Amino acid sequence: MEKELVMNTPNTAMEETNRSLQRREKGEKAKKAVALTFVWIMLLVMYLPIMYLILYSFTDSKVIGQWNGLNFDCYATLFNGSNVYAKQIWEATWNTVWVAVVASTLSTVLGTAGAIGMHFLGKKLKAVFNFANEIPIVNAEIVMALSLCILFAWLNLPTSAFSLIIGHMVLTIPFVVINVQPKLEQMDPSLYEAAMDLGANRAGALFKVMIPDLLPGIFSGFMISMTLSLDDFVITEFTKPSEGMDFQTISTYVQGTLAKGAIPIQIRSFTTLIFVLIVAVMIGYTIVNNRKAKKI
Amino acid sequence: MEATRALPKNKGVMRENRKWLCMPYGVFLVLFIILPILLIFCYAFSDADGHFTLNNFIDVFSPDSSGTTFKVIGQSLGVAALTTVICILIAYPIAYILANSKFNKNAVLVYLFLLPMWINFVIRTVATKQLLIFFGLDPAMHPWICSIIGMVYNYLPFAILPLYNTMLKLDKSQIEAAADLGASPVQVFFKTIVPMTVPGIVSAATMTFMPTMSSYVITDALSGRTIKLIGGQIEHQFLHSQLNVGSVYAIIMLALIGLSVVFENFFSEKKKGAR
C-alpha cells in the first residue's frame, strides 16, 4: 500500500503536468489558427479589388459591376489591331516599359558608380552626398516633379523623352545608392588591393573583384528602380513629352480616361494578363529559390 | 628601394581615382535635384516675367483664398494622419504574425502582401472604387470613408514591410523573460514588444504619412474630387501653367515635410536616448 502511494504521487504529478502541457498546446494551436485566419482575411481584402476587376474581364459591359453574360470580348478586342483602345493600351505599355528599362539601367550605372565613389570620400563630403541622396526619398514626389518641370521651363526646353528619363532617374537613383552602400560596407577592402598587387589593372580589379561583390545590392537596386518607374504617375505627368504625339504611360493613360469617365473595357483583360504574369514570375522565383536553398 | 617606395604612393593614387567615380552622380545631384529645388524658391518669389514679387503668396494666402488653402492643408494632414494610424493598426498585427516563426515559417505570405503593388496603382484605385460602389459606398456620398479606404489599401504594404523587418530582429529572450517574471500578455506586449518595435513604427509612419499628402490621384478618384490635397493643388496650377503659384504650394509642402522629418528625428532620437 505504502509503496503504491509513493509510486502514485509522482505519476499523478506527471499526468498533471502532461495535461497542462496539452492544454497549453491546445491554446497555442487556437492562437495560431486565429492569427492565420486574420492574415488570410486581410490578404483576401487586399486581393478583392483585383479579383473583382478580373471577374468583370469576362464580360463586355461598359461599367464594372454590371454583368452582361460570360464572353471574351475584353480579350478579343485587346488583341485586335484595329481597336483604338487596344492600340492606345499597347502603346502606353510600350512607353511604360522602355522608360522603366532605360531609366533603371542608367540609374543603376550612375548610382553604383556614385556609391563606390562616395565610399572612398572623406567624412564631410560623404555626409553631403548622403544628404543630397536622401532628398528625393524624403521629399514628396510632386515637389520633385514640379521642380524638374520648372528647371526645364527655366532652360526654355520643352519637356521631352529626355526630361522624362531624367525624372525617372531622380525617382530611382537614390534607391540604387542605398542598396549598394551596405554591400560596400561589408566588402573586404584587401581583396581589391590583392588583385592590384597580383597585377590586375584598375578596371580589371573594379569589374572582376569589386563589382561581383556588390552584385546583389546592384540587382536589388535595379529591381526597386523598375518597380518604382513602372508604377509612377506624378513625375511622369510633369515631365512627359509635351510636344508632338500624345505620350502616355499606363498610369497617365488610365488616370486620363478615368477623369473623362469610364476606363476602356480592355484595361480589365490587360490587368488580368499582367496579374497572371506576375503570379507566374512569383511562383517561378519561389521554386528557383527553394531549389537553391536545398542545394546548399 | 625605389619600387617599394613607389607602391604605396601608387595605391594612394588608385584610391583617389575610385573617389572620382562619384563625380557624374555629383553633377546629376546638383543639376537635377538641388538646382530645381532652389528654382522653386526663385519661382515662388517672381512673376511670369521673372521679376520679384510677393503676389504668388498673396494669391494663396489672401483673405479670399486663404480659407481654401488652409482647408486643403487641413485635409491633407487629416487624410495623411488617419491613413497612417489605420495602416499601422492593421499592419502591426500582420507584421507580428508574419515575422513570428510560431505562426509563419516561410516568406511566401509576405510576398503575397507585396504582390498587389506590381499592379498599376491607378488601375487598383479604379477597381477599389468600383468595388466600394458594389458594397453600397458611393464615393460621391462618402468621400472621406472611401478615400481613407483607398489610401489604406494602397499604403498598407509600405507599413507592413518596415514593421516586418524590425519584428524579425525582435529579441525573443527579453519577451520570454518578461513572461517568466510574471508579466501578463498585455504587459508583455506594451512593455517589451512595443518599445522594441518603435524604430519600425517610426519608419512605417514615415513611409505612409509623407506620400499620402501628395497622393491626389487616389483622393480625386475616391472622393468625387471633393477632398483636395496639396498635391492636387500643385497639379492644378501645373495644368494651368501657373508654375509660380504652384511653387508657393510646393513650399508649403516642403515645410510640412520638414516638420514631419523633425518629428521623426525627435522620436528616433528619444529611442536612442532611452537605450
Which of A106-120, B73-87, B92-106, B260-274 is predicted least confidently? B260-274
Subunit contact B98:A170, Cβ cutoff 8 A = no
Region label for A199, one of left (φ > 0), alpha (ψ between -120 and 50) or beta (otherwise): left
User: Which set of grid coordinates corresponds to residue A255?
Assistant: 488616370
Subunit contact A250:B120, Cβ cutoff 8 A = yes
Which of B62, B10, B24 is closest to A173 using CA atoms?
A: B24
Residue spans of chain A under pLDDT 70: 1-11, 244, 296
Question: How many CA atoms are closer than 13 Å to the CA of A194, on its beta-carbon side?
Answer: 7
Count CB atoms within 10 A of the CB of residue A196. 18
pLDDT band of B51, cuts 50, 70, 90: confident
Alpha-helix residue ranges (DSSP H) falling in A120-210: 123-138, 141-154, 161-186, 189-197, 202-205
Return the pLDDT at A118. Answer: 92
Which residues are bridge partners to B46 per DSSP? B52
- List the single residue in A with minimal CA-CA distance to B23: A114
> Cα distance from B247 to chain A (closest Cα, Å)?
8
Q: DSSP states of A44-85 as a string? A: HHHHHHHHHHHHGGGS--SSTT----S--HHHHHHT-TT-HH
DSSP 8-class letter at B135: T
> Cα distance from B67 to chain A (closest Cα, Å)?
22
Tell whether B185 is within 8 A of chain A (Cβ): no
Residue A248 near residue A260 (C-beta atoms within 8 A): no
The amino acid at residue B102 is: K
Domain residue spans of chain A: 2-58, 91-295
Subunit contact A39:B121, Cβ cutoff 8 A = no
Subunit contact B131:A52, Cβ cutoff 8 A = yes
Identify all chain B residues contacting A142, using CB atoms and an 8 Å cutoff. 214, 216, 231, 234-235, 250, 253
Return the pLDDT at A10. Answer: 57
Rounded to whole angstroms, the Cα distance separating A268 from A15 reads: 61
Rounded to whole angstroms, the Cα distance separating B44 from B249 reads: 9
Return the pLDDT at B267. Answer: 78
Identify all chain B residues contacting A117, using CB atoms and an 8 Å cutoff. 18-23, 25
Count CB atoms within 10 A of the CB of residue A193. 15
Rounded to whole angstroms, the Cα distance separating B75 from B82 reads: 10
Count CB atoms within 10 A of the CB of residue B108. 13
Return the pLDDT at A107. Answer: 97
Q: What is the mean pLDDT of chain B?
A: 86
Return the pLDDT at B261. Answer: 87
Residue B51 near residue B123 (C-beta atoms within 8 A): no
Identify all chain A residues contacting B36, using CB atoms and an 8 Å cutoff. 144, 147-148, 150-151
Subunit contact A138:B109, Cβ cutoff 8 A = no
ipTM: 0.86
pLDDT band of B271, cuts 50, 70, 90: low
Q: Which CATH class is domain A91-295?
A: mainly alpha
Asked whether the whole model's pTM tops 0.95, one would answer no
Better pLDDT: A189 or B124 = B124
